[in-house]
Structure 1
């Protein structure tokens, strides 16, 4: 298929052949000789007798069009483009732009650069809109190429073109930023970039003896990129405005300092957020979506509130309602395209995900009804094996997006989950989507099942009665399932194996333990973590027989290794597992006999408690120790270990209250059951620590509010009533036993 003559008519024919044709793209893309000649043509077009300068320009334009087209839809073509360094060739072409170059040439080359950069970013991930298939074989090459595009000296080549006089060129550069910035490293590099001249001003200003004019600081109003993109929003070109909004959304995502600047209004001016929200009211749907995404990323850049009483300001609520109103109108529209509805559903997901108050707001503003009705309207419940194959990709992607939005809204609240199961009756659509051929639909269906399975009432009724639980389990048991779908399915299994689940015994009989052990032995940290989480839930209030069965299947040597895993999340779950094993005298005996004896077991616990890298690991280790203290047969081993006793004392002095509670319970149980334990506890200075806690506690108000106002533990007072009471009991037992010895 190699093209022998590279001329304008030939290239136009190739361009027309590959546009929208994946097969043709693959065929031409695998022809490395032809693609190599295209890449060379960008900067050094071939000449022949009678050629004139316009002919060379036309060759370069057509070559750029073909390279742009080849980058989409064919991994073979992208692989060839990476191997031939096509993006570097295009960047060099941009660097040699001349004032006399035609707009058509500059637009063609910048669009080709944007197309290839976007395709490379798609290969690296994460995907911008839904789940993308894994392309691990070219990911290392793609990542190196993408990192090159965002080197500061390379950005010097193309980012200034945001100010190009031609809207086609500046639009292409804004689109490049919008579609290629996928991670925090690149986001920081782009948002911090400024022209070399402004860098000089910044450097001089840092000498210390110069007083820098704040109005000329490169970082003012969020930096050069932000100012330039914000200025483009005031243009009357809708395509350019859309590109600028998308670029702003990309650089603002999870960038709290920048987002706060965009939300504030400079003196005498309108804030960028206000401009963005005004564009949400455009009649152009693409512009509405771009503005909604930009506003969402500005609003959600700060992390979601984690307090027991979360709060959002009136301005944040108003902004969220404005975005939801726009998205609802698009999702429910009879005329909006599937692509537009898909983006609207994903933007809704970005807005509410992991934010309880925004989820509640979305429920109140009818967003849940809109996306749920969309799911049921495009999901055939009684389907044949040919239905998936005949379904257009745009419909599959829309179903993925809508299911993803439903899952996010229903993640926190039982009333919302009840609305999903009982009023909107979406479970049949979720269940049938679990076997869809498109990986994104299966993944989103698992996420819905996960959200619903968090409700005890649904787990005991709807999920069992409809067969949804077993459908997810069958997907979970597939050996060849996509890794991302398996991860989502494993989160559902974590919920379904809890002690209150009617499916627990059935799943055990059908091999869930074996499958979890397989996942635990994979190299995938996310799957290993979920497997441990499922084991933890499975062992909660388990019988001694089930505890022994599970631990033997995991392997005791493997358990000891997990307690020292480099990943603190793995260690936390491993200690939580042995905490549940030790919830009973038989379980404690099992731990001491299988974990290498008291010295090894207590050594693991001491090492975990002494670590300062993660309080969650410390918490679980102290809970294990507290459970072990309930076994009279092994209390002497704990009392004989001065390292462990020092750890307990340190927890009583310095740890947060969640850790102090099991620590004081452990001390109380040791003192109560061992009348002659005062010597060991005295040597560990636990007795003096208890006196200190009780003496100070007797002089302060028992009101938690008063304790906080007076400094609480900073003044030596124990500010938790439960810890206070147990400390007093432990001291009483300790002093009483000491008097008896005398």
Structure 2
């Protein structure tokens, strides 16, 4: 008959046993705490609430002090040190609340003290616990620029204990963020040591070294050049060899290291074979059932992002098919789900051939399903994926995206509690509403316009900006009735307020919205004259005060469209350009014509073209005012402008002025 099992003691009882004066009782209690919390976040949280971490940290501190007492039983003390360090490491493992509790309890420095203990097991336990802490973003940042700290780091990397040397590598990965720190580590010979661990170290040491090398390389082409050059030897070959290692995590980390090199210094790793190998390995790693599989799509994204050549290779390697297959397999871990959606987003970000493949496989249906996932990160990734796919002009023109299956869930996400989801949903809808058919009513019927107007009042500038961007795209080439619907929701006072928003990105989108509102129908121009010309006045003030070219471009195009109207409209624009006489106003127009930004020069000259149209009765008077302000003279200096658009429109203005007797 099997013996009865003994139930685990309750947390409160265990905590009381931790306070025992008997070393054996204390060690057993520590072991049981460790066994209960390993891999169990719920248990960890339960013990945290009862104050277990400060209690264990106190035991560690007392025992570390006891080591100095020659009369103590070193065997008992060492057992307590090992178990208390192990418990603290278990609390910190993959659990930020546990890391914070360990740091708050003051255990960090005592764990560091264990590294100088004469007992190898104590050293190993301390190093393991510290490595758990350094997996978290909450870990203390290490200052490599202090000589004593660099010497300590080198001593860690030189240790025969793989957890100690691994700790050194983990510290680098966590703390190396600036080019100055990267250079200091390189100059201290750290890369040589890490390279030796790549070639002769254990599995754990190799993996930790790969992460550290990537941290030292990131965005630092100078260090990469030295590493890959003759000064060090053949370390780059070591990394390349490891992409074919038998262990999945090592392959992933080696790929990530090479991707950092490729993204930082594109002239390295130009070999087509290496690019293809990276693609195939990362796609294979998607099948890994654990953390490696979850992280593989993120590495794949970093490889292909903004790189059409690699996206083409990935398409040829059936990347979209394989990513689609994973989505079809059913419930996915949120991290895996998010990564696959982002990988699809990057695949479809540039090439129409990739978008066509995506749509032909009907991946779109699976992505829209992800819009209602429980994870905010997954919902955000789904929106980003939709944004990439809906860049397809061909399918936008055909109205394939303006349907209830896509529009309704996106509009519902406008009210998502997560700001990142809201911003991503707005980004996706910005493309969807650029619909060249007459089906925009779907968006209105599901409350899209009202929601966008409300979001334009958000406290978050990114939300305000994206909401205005969506409204701008919605009214692009829209008929006057739709524009009136939008304007009636916005109101002139609200739009003029947004034009003067504290954030430049919001100002730019508000001006761009006005530009599209007044484009096309002459009746649309009247929008800027509502409420005694609030909007037109706001445009003038922004152009007068802003130093950003982007704001000037949108503001001038808005005035350009107004100036395409009747005589009253043209004179109103002149009033904004020249509200009073004086050098200040002259420099305002001249400044735009002298801008290094060709788009701003184009918008400014185009406005002048509309103001001086010969068929307009007041053109002669306006031209005279422009001439007196020195603008015509400046235009004559621009007849050979480097920008073709500017050159053509300058010549148009000068041709029109000749009709009024100007030579």
Instruction: Give the shorter-chain TM-score range.
Output: 0.7 to 0.9
What is the Cα deviation at residue 73 of structure 1?
5.6
Match of 2:29 in 1: 10
SS of the aligned residue for 1:4 comes to: helix
> Map of 1:325-474 to 2, 5 A cutoff?
325-331=280-286, 336-376=288-328, 378-379=329-330, 391=331, 395-422=333-360, 424-459=361-396, 460=398, 463=401, 468-470=405-407, 472-473=409-410
Residue pair 2:111, 2:130 contacting (<8 A) in 1 also: no
What is the Cα deviation at residue 258 of structure 1?
3.3
Say whether residues 1:109 and 2:46 are aligned partners: no
Residue pair 2:399, 2:436 contacting (<8 A) in 1 also: no
Say whether residues 1:546 and 2:482 are aligned partners: yes
Match of 2:230 in 1: 266
> Map of 1:135-150 to 2, 5 A cutoff?
142=138, 146=139, 148-149=141-142
Match 2:47 to one of 24, 28, 36: 28
What is the Cα deviation at residue 317 of structure 1?
4.3
Residue pair 1:431, 1:471 contacting (<8 A) in 2 also: no
Quote the Cα distance in structure 1 between the aligned partners of 2:586 and 2:621: 15
Q: Relative to 1, partners in 2 of residues 1:241 and 1:502: Cα closer, same or farther, differing over 3 Å?
A: farther
Residue pair 1:639, 1:680 contacting (<8 A) in 2 also: no
Say whether residues 1:159 and 2:159 are aligned partners: no
Match of 1:669 in 2: 610
Quote the Cα distance in structure 2 between the aligned partners of 1:416 and 1:455: 10
Cα deviation per residue 1:517-559 (whole Å; 9 max; x = unaligned)? 3322333233222212111111212334433443443344443
> Map of 1:33-44 to 2, 5 A cutoff?
34-44=52-62
Match of 2:545 in 1: 607
What is the Cα deviation at residue 257 of structure 1?
3.8
Quote the Cα distance in structure 2 between the aligned partners of 1:41 and 1:31: 16
Residue pair 2:605, 2:650 contacting (<8 A) in 1 also: yes
Q: Relative to 1, partners in 2 of residues 1:557 and 1:255: Cα closer, same or farther, differing over 3 Å?
A: farther
Match of 1:577 in 2: 513
Residue pair 1:191, 1:226 contacting (<8 A) in 2 also: no
Match 2:182 to one of 169, 183, 191: 191
Match of 1:62 in 2: 83
Residue pair 1:246, 1:290 contacting (<8 A) in 2 also: yes
> Map of 1:693-704 to 2, 5 A cutoff?
693-694=638-639
Match of 1:678 in 2: 623
What is the Cα deviation at residue 576 of structure 1?
0.9
Residue pair 1:427, 1:468 contacting (<8 A) in 2 also: no
Residue pair 2:134, 2:170 contacting (<8 A) in 1 also: no
> Map of 1:493-504 to 2, 5 A cutoff?
493-500=429-436, 504=440
Cα deviation per residue 1:136-187 (whole Å; 9 max; x = unaligned)? xxxxxx5xxx465558559558633122232221113323443x35xxx834
Match of 1:711 in 2: none
Match of 1:234 in 2: 199
What are structure 2's unaligned runs of at least 5 residues? Answer: 1-10, 19-25
Quote the Cα distance in structure 2 between the aligned partners of 1:369 and 1:250: 32
Say whether residues 1:249 and 2:184 are aligned partners: no
Match of 2:660 in 1: 737
Quote the Cα distance in structure 2 between the aligned partners of 1:268 and 1:330: 31
TM score, norm. by length of structure 2: 0.85
What is the Cα deviation at residue 688 of structure 1?
1.5
Quote the Cα distance in structure 1 between the aligned partners of 2:131 and 2:648: 67
Q: Number of aligned pairs?
A: 625
What is the Cα deviation at residue 351 of structure 1?
0.8
Quote the Cα distance in structure 1 between the aligned partners of 2:17 and 2:305: 54
> Map of 1:510-525 to 2, 5 A cutoff?
510-525=446-461
Q: Relative to 1, partners in 2 of residues 1:457 and 1:597: Cα closer, same or farther, differing over 3 Å?
A: closer
Quote the Cα distance in structure 2 between the aligned partners of 1:253 and 1:730: 51
Quote the Cα distance in structure 1 between the aligned partners of 2:503 and 2:456: 14
SS of the aligned residue for 1:540 comes to: coil
Cα deviation per residue 1:581-620 (whole Å; 9 max; x = unaligned)? 2314333332133453755542222223xx1xx3322222
> Map of 1:605-684 to 2, 5 A cutoff?
605-608=543-546, 611=547, 614-631=548-565, 632-640=567-575, 641=578, 646-672=587-613, 673=616, 674-684=619-629
Q: Relative to 1, partners in 2 of residues 1:582 and 1:343: Cα closer, same or farther, differing over 3 Å?
A: same
SS of the aligned residue for 1:654 comes to: coil
Residue pair 1:299, 1:316 contacting (<8 A) in 2 also: no
Residue pair 2:34, 2:87 contacting (<8 A) in 1 also: yes
Q: Relative to 1, partners in 2 of residues 1:578 and 1:480: Cα closer, same or farther, differing over 3 Å?
A: closer
TM score, norm. by length of structure 1: 0.77
What is the Cα deviation at residue 94 of structure 1?
1.6
Cα deviation per residue 1:99-125 (whole Å; 9 max; x = unaligned)? x52232222222222222333x1xxxx
Residue pair 1:349, 1:404 contacting (<8 A) in 2 also: yes
Q: Relative to 1, partners in 2 of residues 1:502 and 1:108: Cα closer, same or farther, differing over 3 Å?
A: farther
Q: Relative to 1, partners in 2 of residues 1:228 and 1:553: Cα closer, same or farther, differing over 3 Å?
A: farther
Residue pair 1:118, 1:176 contacting (<8 A) in 2 also: no
Residue pair 2:37, 2:44 contacting (<8 A) in 1 also: yes
Quote the Cα distance in structure 1 between the aligned partners of 2:630 and 2:303: 52
Q: Relative to 1, partners in 2 of residues 1:242 and 1:77: Cα closer, same or farther, differing over 3 Å?
A: closer
